Amino acid sequence: MRIAHIAPVATTIPPPKSGSVETMTSLLTEGLVAHGHDVTLFATGDSRTTARLEAIYPHGYWHDENMWPWELYEMLNLAAAVERARDFDIIHYEAAYYPMSLAFARLSPTPIAQTLHHAPSDAEVRLWSHYPEAPFVAISNEQARLLAGLNVVATVLHGIDTASFTFREKPDEYLLFLGRFTAGKGVLQAIELAKRVGMRLILAAADDDYYREKVAPHVDGRHVVYYGEADFDAKVKLYGGARALLYPLQAREPFGLVLAEAMACGTPVAALDCGAVREVVDDGITGVVFQNLEQMANELRRAFDLDRRRVRARAVERFGVERMVQGYIEVYGRLVEAHRG
């Protein structure tokens, strides 16, 4: 198939450090090329890919404050693909922020599939339902439920490059929180938990206002340690050394890439039952899903006792990138077929 894959243009594909949408976009693009598809990636000029790269910007707007408002940069990157729609069998838009691709749904002679990367509000879904025919690919059944009323053509869980997440059998004696510092990710609950069980907690994420206001006062450099934002190699080391990844989620997140990544290093996760957690974690095998923080504090050891080899094996089985790539190829095929018919 001739596939146009539209990345966000905030930073490079793959991203220099954090960036789950950029990481997933890169893995999917490379996987599609490996399957012999004719892939054009619309992304920033400093991206690295084996696909054909179409770039109208040399770099992303995270790196250039003159590139503002960013929305128009995203729009014109997407428009560049739609303008050449007849060169492609399918256009796939990674909606890092919102599905602006809907604006092109009825203007493009080629079908546009969109993958959403957040948990939409009711008002958002109401707006999007002006385009009930536009095909969405959900990243979890949790997200698919939120998209009720729209044309959700499939659920394809994210994949990760399991080979690059090194397995480690014997961890160190610390707990890990990795992800953005937001109320929804539950960093304050992770700190409370670590204090209650008397274990060292390492926090790894980019600092921001929320960190400075809410998190930093708890950081003492001994019991609660702030690592900073981890690049890929550092992330793998941090995962591998942790007794468990803490994921005391407070908001209905649609996926949770850090869960799969930690598991691929053999590190079990201790998570609250929220959002898509039960779709990613196999309770009692790759981690433990707790009902509340109280239970998590009392029974955290259950996560430590899980067999790290088995955690790794299950993660590889379920979150290998190949499954994700196959999932998208199947969806694309169906959409192209339906469009021809």
d(CA 185, CA 188): 9
Q: Does 293 bind its own copies (CB under 8 A)?
A: no
Q: Does 150 bind its own copies (CB under 8 A)?
A: no
DSSP β-ladder status, 2-6 and 38-42: parallel
Q: Does 62 bind its own copies (CB under 8 A)?
A: no
Q: Which residues pair with 195 in a beta bridge?
A: none
Identified binder of its own copies from the candidate list 24, 39, 79, 257, rule CB under 8 A: 79
The closest alpha carbon to 185, from 232, 130, 248, belongs to 248
From residue 10 to residue 49, the character string flagging contacts with its own copies as x (rule: CB under 8 A) and all else as - is: ----------------------------------------
Task: Tell me whether residue 100 or residue 225 sits nearer to its own copies (CB atom).
Answer: 100
Structure tokens at 214: 């809410």
Those residues whose C-beta lies under 8 Å from the C-beta of residue 110, and which sit 6 or more positions away, are 4, 85, 86, 88, 89, 90, 91, 339
Q: Which listed range, 46-54, 71-79, 206-214, 310-318, lies at the site for its own copies (CB under 8 A)?
A: 71-79
Task: Tell me whether residue 130 or residue 340 sits nearer to its own copies (CB atom).
Answer: 130
From residue 106 to residue 135, the character string flagging contacts with its own copies as x (rule: CB under 8 A) and all else as - is: xxx------------xxx---x--x-----
Omega into 69 within 30° of 0, i.e. cis?
yes
Amino acid at 339: H
Q: How far is the CB of 212 from its own copies (least distance, A)?
A: 21
Q: How far is the CB of 213 from its own copies (least distance, A)?
A: 19
Q: How far is the CB of 98 from its own copies (least distance, A)?
A: 5
Q: In what order do the strands lie in the sheet with 269-272?
A: 224-228, 200-204, 174-178, 242-247, 269-272, 287-290
Size of the site for its own copies (CB under 8 A): 29
Q: Does 87 bind its own copies (CB under 8 A)?
A: no
Q: Does 50 bind its own copies (CB under 8 A)?
A: no
Scanning the structure block, which residue is given the tokens 């206001």? Answer: 213
Q: Does 66 bind its own copies (CB under 8 A)?
A: yes
DSSP β-ladder status, 174-178 and 90-95: unpaired
Identified binder of its own copies from the candidate list 13, 27, 82, 246, rule CB under 8 A: 82
CB 1 within 8 A of CB 92: no
Q: Does 56 bind its own copies (CB under 8 A)?
A: yes
Q: Which residues pair with 175 in a beta bridge?
A: 201, 244
Q: How far is the CB of 9 from its own copies (least distance, A)?
A: 11
Q: Does 83 bind its own copies (CB under 8 A)?
A: yes
Amino acid at 270: A
DSSP β-ladder status, 200-204 and 269-272: unpaired
User: How many secondary structure helices (H) and strands (E) does the chain include?
Assistant: 13, 13
Q: How far is the CB of 118 from its own copies (least distance, A)?
A: 11
CB 77 within 8 A of CB 104: no
The DSSP output letter for 160 is: B
Q: Does 71 bind its own copies (CB under 8 A)?
A: yes
Task: Tell me whether residue 122 or residue 173 sits nearer to its own copies (CB atom).
Answer: 122
Residues of the shown chain interacting with its own copies in the complex, contacts defined by CB under 8 A: 56, 66-69, 71-73, 75-76, 78-79, 82-83, 97-100, 102-104, 106-108, 121-123, 127, 130
